[in-house]
Amino acid sequence: MLKVENLHASVGDKEILKGINLTVKAGEVHAIMGPNGSGKSTLASVLAGNEKFTVTEGKVEFLGENILDMPIEERSRKGLFLGFQYPVEIPGVTMANFMKLAVNEHRKARGEEPLTAAEYLRLMREKSAIVELDAKLTSRAVNEGFSGGEKKKNEIFQMAMLDPKLAILDETDSGLDIDALRIVATGVTRLHTENNATVVITHYQRLLDYIVPDYVHVLYNGRIIYTGDKTLALKLEAEGYDWLINNHQER
């Protein structure tokens, strides 16, 4: 599904990713953890195609195709979804209108006809139920006046609408209370199948109680310095990152 080889990326002349290697197969859940400033969000942005970052070296293959020269919207239509850490407010643009355009762009890319109004409404109703998103929110402007929890639910709602092959969720759990966390995490789990894959970037073990990862990677200073299974997250929660970082520096 996703194959990242020796990926280097910078913003301005500051190198942030310094040789990332990561392989994600269909059906897998990967968690990426690591201290602040280690490059987690940059990795998510670079994979999604944010032009603020320059890829200086390496390769990213998604579904067998090199995507580094592909604009962000094409990567999206190919099935790559990024859940934003800070979902953006777009005044005056309703969720319903926005998602209709997005869904139909995805359908067009697959050679399908646009949805009829009735089909679209049915899809919206069905998908908003997955994250217990108040149906009224879809008639409001995108993220405007949404609470922190609603914004994150709205990210997962959009993920459900677009049915991506690979979802990268950038700190979807930050700023959520326990109930909202449960709803968001359960929503993600329900969307997971053996044909898609999920990469969750998180600081906290608690998200991984719901979304059980097959692999846990620790990102530090622009590199993945350690990969383990789900027990690694528990160990990190208890002991912090120091033992790993010290180990890494000694080597």
Partner 1 sequence: MGAQPLSDGATLGAGCWYALLDRDYRIEVEAGVTASLLLCDSEAVADVEIAVGRGSVLNIVRVVTHRSVLTHDVTLDEGAECNTTELVLNAADTRTTATFIAPFARYNHNGVFILDDKEEGSVTVDVMHNVSDCTSRTNFKGVAVEQAHGSFEGTVYVAPDAQRTDSEQSSRNVVMGDARIDTLPQLEIYADDVRCSHGATVGQMDADAILYMRQRGLSLADARRLQIEGFVSDVVMRASIESLVEPLQELLAVKFNKL
Smallest distance from partner 1 to CB 247, Å: 36
Q: Least distance from C-beta 72 to partner 1, angstroms?
A: 5
Cβ proximity to partner 1, 39 vs 49, nearer residue: 49
Q: Which residues contact 87 (CB under 8 A, 6 or more apart)?
A: 143, 146, 151, 152, 154, 155
Backbone angles phi, psi at 208, to 5 degrees: -80, -5
Secondary structure of residue 77 in the 3-state scheme: helix
- List, as one string, the DSSP characters of 140-192: SEETTT--HHHHHHHHHHHHHHH--SEEEEESTTTT--HHHHHHHHHHHHHH-
Report the alpha-carbon distance of residue 120 to residue 115 in Å, rounded.
Answer: 6
Q: Which is nearer to partner 1, 105 or 214 (CB)?
A: 105
Return the number of the residue (127 or 223) whose C-beta is nearest partner 1.
127
* Helix or strand (DSSP H, E) at 1: none
CB of 233 to partner 1, least distance (A): 27
Rounded-to-integer distance, Cα 104 and Cα 109, Å: 8
Nearer to partner 1, 92 or 251 (CB): 92
Rounded least distance, CB 47 to partner 1, Å: 11
Token pair of 47 as six digits = 């994979």
Q: How far is the CB of 162 from partner 1 (least distance, A)?
A: 7
What phi, psi does 218 have (nearest 5°)? -110, 120
Residue closer to partner 1 (CB basis): 21 or 97: 97
- When the beta carbons of 39 and 164 are compared against partner 1, the nearer one is 164
- Under the rule (CB under 8 A), what is the footprint of partner 1? 48-50, 71-73, 76-77, 81-82, 84, 87-93, 97-99, 101-102, 105-106, 109, 141, 158, 162
Least distance in angstroms from the C-beta of 73 to partner 1: 4
